[in-house]
Structure 1
């Protein structure tokens, strides 16, 4: 099973493509390509994890290795980047733990 996403990170203009694949529906591998240097570093950190247990990633009692890697790599203004949540959601869909549905964040400034 595979799932993919195209993530437009926002005002920075960077685009990330994510592909998640699994043979058993539990352990997933990530393919991440990005125009952002920091997301490329995150992709390398996630790749070094090897196959990731998607069930453990969503477990309320366990910590997410994917999101921990994002916290370790992304700092400063990049700490609020939307790409890690896109990677995480693509993992859920790829492992059959969520249905594919676009997510949207609409931001407006008033006053």
Structure 2
């Protein structure tokens, strides 16, 4: 069984989400999600085993991101957790390399 662990630091809210992805066949992925955020906890309880190939093919219309839209309603639209969970699924299935993903901001002089 292949397993990965991803840690998502969402940003100014201070919430941390951890996703442990598991796959026996490199296609079907189970995500064990833990988070300090109530909305992500509700999402975590509903995420089924995911067919990574179908999810990638469906783009923003796949099961995972559909659940994100339903369960994280009212959450910040810039939340990094949905992208982090999608990336965890890809890496678990061997469809992406386990490399850090980062968004950094800095103030520029006026």
Could you tell me the TM-score, scaled by structure 2's length?
A: 0.89
Task: Specify every segment of 5 or more residues in structure 2 that has no aligned partner in the other structure, as ranges.
Answer: none
Measure the CA separation in 2 of the matches of 1:103 and 1:53.
22
Deviation of 1:60 after TM superposition, in Å, equals 4.9
Q: Give yes or no for contact 1:4–1:19 (8 Å, CA) kept in 2.
A: yes
List per-residue Cα deviations over 1:2-59 (Å, max 9, x = no partner): 111111100000001100100011011110000111110111121xx2x210000001
Provide the secondary structure at the position in 2 that maps to 1:98: coil
**70, 78, 81: which one aligns with 2:79:** 81
Q: Give yes or no for contact 1:3–1:91 (8 Å, CA) kept in 2.
A: no
Could you tell me the TM-score, scaled by structure 1's length?
A: 0.88
Q: How many residues align?
A: 108
Give every structure 1 segment of 4 or more consecutive aligned residues whose post-TM-superposition deviation is greater than 6 Å.
Answer: none
**Paired residue for 1:94?**
92
Q: 1:109 to 1:42 in 2, by over 3 A?
A: farther
